[in-house]
Amino acid sequence: MNRWQRLAPVVVLLVLAAVLRLARLETLPPGFSKPELDTLHITEQTRMGRLVVFGQVDGQSQETLFQIVQAAVTSLSADGLLTLRLPSVWSGLLALALVFAFTRRLHNERTALLAVGLMAVGFWPVLLSRLSIREAFLPGLTMGTLVAFVNAFHIRHAVSPDKPHTNAFTALGIVVAFSLYVHWFGLFLTVVVTLAALYLFVSRQAISRYSAGAIGFAILLSLIVIIPYAATTLREIDSSGLTAMRAAMMPANPAQAVLTGLTGLFAGGDANPVFNLPGRPLLDPVTGLLALGGLIYGLRHWRRPAAFLPALAALIALIPALLSTTPGSFVSYAGVLPLLYILAAIAADRLLDWLADQRPSLARPSLILAALLVIGNLVWMAGDLFGRWPQRPDVQAAYDAPRAQLARYLERSAATLPTVVCSPSLLDTEEQPGDPRLLDLMIHRVNAPIRYVDCANGLVIAQGGEPQQFAFTDRSIYARIQPALRAWLDNQTAIPVDGLAEGSVLALDVQSEVENAVGRLLTTSPSGWAPEAPGGSGPVRLPAQFGRNLTFLGYEIDATRTYRGGDIVPVITYWRVDGPLPHDLRIFAHLLSDPAAIVTQSIAMNTWVSSLHNRDLFIQVNYLVLPESIPAGSYDISIGAFLAESERRLPIYDGAVERGNRLFLQQITVSEG
């Protein structure tokens, strides 16, 4: 059998693994979960040039090498559910290749194929390779460390006393050091390497007498690489990986945590729907028993490095999982994951050999049973991951599936149809990024031309009212829209979109309505220049130009009503965009007892200004709350625009002449309460 024929089975398994990890990658998981958004927050900071060892999200620190890789990948392409997950996919496939290399080197090809096969079709290994979280790198780092170790010390079925190669120890030092920049689990990989090296000396393995010098070289190289990590840790100990590790490994009841962790392996699984189909164990019963058998086998044959090293590494890598402050969480098993499948494969291989020795006629049927174990896991995983799990309401909620479905629809349609997104979440908060950033992350198209507005008190009409679509990230906001704004959306045609509630996307063609409204506003919105304006007071002929790229078209105020203290006066203003606008633009409205005395005021901007395009119209509602003790009389209302960061008001022009920075609107009448 030639080399390519021998490699054919593992190639088939790796292709199968790639298909399972890439199939429906942009829709499974259905969106981004909170852990992924925390990771992506650091990725965005990295793309903006903020390179740090530890990133901060909601007071929690994360090592940032995963995010640096993610930022580099997306800088060459774009954001999106698919591209942001590709580094995890690649890492998962690399981990499988390393599992094969490690297991075949220490045991045989059959054992290696079974380990790869079980891990290739495991529920959590497949899902982990689809998540944009740094733990997706841990299986590959674990196996990279072990492969580098056995290569450095010439370990196969036995240890060879060959002279050490500098390249092998260089790889070992670099992998261990860089693992620290991905996750604090790298500290446990350091322990694995240290104890494994001591084991080789204590058990008097036939290693080269030059190994001590090579180990020193690897240690020196690692120390050089981790200088920034160590310096940052000493300087910022409270936000370091050590602090994060301590917080993650201090359960209130250690004994209960260990019991729950073991139960998660073989029975109960992870109850968090973000990472599991609740109730599904990490390993099926057969694989679980085999993994336990492989561990026992390795400990019993502790003088044989090929048997003992996987068991030793698994015991150390299990510590963070069994002492986790979130017992049973599959995320805490990420580092030990490949070792569990390797132990199971070792036990299965020993069992197959024993059966063949006892009864040679069972040799072929037992191989079929091993294949059926992989196939059974494949069927079980596919039914759960591609069927039951994503359909659960708690999974849909955890991954914000409706917003992701909207993003996929907008990616197909926004490039050819002017689009406005109605969102109650324009600004980022500690708990949740705003919709502009969320949808931008989920859409693969660069700079999709989408306008964002909080429809409750603001509205955008794209391109002067030409045919367009209006999408809601939360359809329930429709009932809270200010009546004058909702009139633009009532009786519009709904566009059906799979996965979204009816009416989530509307088709608008309101150009004639816009022309009529603008004509009415220009003739029925009496306005005046401020008394202090150059040239003095006097009537304003609308439209009026604010700054260079903002035009005031008119307003609506119910001036026929008599107000009382405590009432609210809505001031609805209409604006046209004539070019790029400052991102911090705000609209103010003042209630004045005289031109210099402000009784009450309102500052607002319910539109994501940076998303506006030339010829867009936006409507802004400011609410003036009258003081309870306001005296009866007539009051002026003035409006204007300013920049929030500099507090500079935009000048208003009459042709080419500057005429102050505010306009006076109709008066209102206030009576005694």
Q: Is the peptide bond before 543 cis (omega within 30 degrees of 0)?
A: yes
pLDDT digits over 439-464, tens only?
A: 988 988 777 789 999 999 999 999 99
pLDDT digits over 330-356, tens only?
A: 999 999 999 999 999 999 999 988 888
Regarding whether 407 and 428 lie in a shared domain, the answer is: yes
Domain residues for the domain of 562 are 516-670
pLDDT of res. 363? 65
Regarding whether 456 and 343 lie in a shared domain, the answer is: no
Contact 243, 61 (CB under 8 A): yes
Distance CA 516, CA 670 (A): 32
pLDDT digits over 580-598, tens only?
A: 999 999 999 999 999 989 9
pLDDT of res. 49? 87
Residue 166 binned pLDDT confidence (cut-offs 50, 70, 90): confident
* Number of domains comprising the chain: 3
Regarding whether 389 and 405 lie in a shared domain, the answer is: no
Domain boundary among 395, 429, 455: 395
Q: What would the mean pLDDT of 365-389 be, rounded to a whole number?
A: 92
Pairing of strands 544-546, 528-529: unpaired
Domain boundary among 354, 379, 395: 395
Whole-angstrom CA distances from 465 to 113, 460, 516, 614, 633 are 62, 10, 11, 12, 40
Regarding whether 33 and 18 lie in a shared domain, the answer is: yes
Question: Residue 635: beta bridge partners?
Answer: 668
Regarding whether 530 and 503 lie in a shared domain, the answer is: no
- Is the model's pLDDT at 278 over the cut of 90? yes
On average, the pLDDT of the chain sits at 93
Regarding whether 233 and 194 lie in a shared domain, the answer is: yes
Distance CA 281, CA 56 (A): 32
Domain boundary among 465, 485, 509: 509
- CATH assignment at residue 586: 2.60.40.770
Residue 1 binned pLDDT confidence (cut-offs 50, 70, 90): low
Whole-angstrom CA distances from 665 to 564, 636, 653 are 19, 7, 17
Pairing of strands 468-472, 419-422: parallel
pLDDT of res. 430? 67
Q: Is the peptide bond before 29 cis (omega within 30 degrees of 0)?
A: yes
Regarding whether 102 and 79 lie in a shared domain, the answer is: yes
Regarding whether 498 and 538 lie in a shared domain, the answer is: no
Contact 511, 464 (CB under 8 A): yes
Regarding whether 265 and 358 lie in a shared domain, the answer is: yes
Distance CA 94, CA 89 (A): 9
Pairing of strands 668-670, 562-563: parallel
Q: What would the mean pLDDT of 1-29 be, rounded to a whole number?
A: 89
Regarding whether 557 and 423 lie in a shared domain, the answer is: no
Regarding whether 316 and 244 lie in a shared domain, the answer is: yes
- Is the model's pLDDT at 517 over the cut of 80? yes
Regarding whether 560 and 496 lie in a shared domain, the answer is: no
